[in-house]
Amino acid sequence: MRANFNRYKLGNVRVFFTRLGYHPGNDASYERRLNRGERFPRFHVYIEEHGDEVSLNLHLDAKAPSYEGASAHAGEYSGPLVETEISRITSSVPQ
């Protein structure tokens, strides 16, 4: 699921997502585990910055890739959990 924000309202992206419980991942992404001590399931958000806009691409990684060396996973790009998380992120952006 995608969402766009004004970069000046969002502020420092790393600080913003850290305050929401996310940890830096690979390639301009952040991850938030749903269960402590377990790597999956987790929310995974990719960040793209374009001028005054920050674009988020959020999905839920349900489990690890099935095959070694594969990047494919059981990801959910919509649904109630993803929609709730996008709402949580959106409501945390200062007006």
Phi-psi region of 18 (alpha: psi -120 to 50; beta: other; left: phi over 0): alpha
Domain extents in the chain: 2-92
Pull the structure tokens for residue 25.
């991942």
Helix (H), strand (E), coil (C) string for 35-94: CCCCCCCEEEEEEEEECCEEEEEEEEECCCCCCCCCCCCCEECCCHHHHHHHHHHHHHCC
- The per-residue pLDDT for range 63-85, each reduced to its tens digit, is 877 666 656 567 899 999 999 99
- The per-residue pLDDT for range 8-55, each reduced to its tens digit, is 999 999 999 999 999 999 888 999 999 988 989 999 999 999 999 999
Count CB neighbours of 80 within 10 A.
8
Count CB neighbours of 5 within 10 A.
18
pTM of the model: 0.88
Q: DSSP code of 9?
A: H
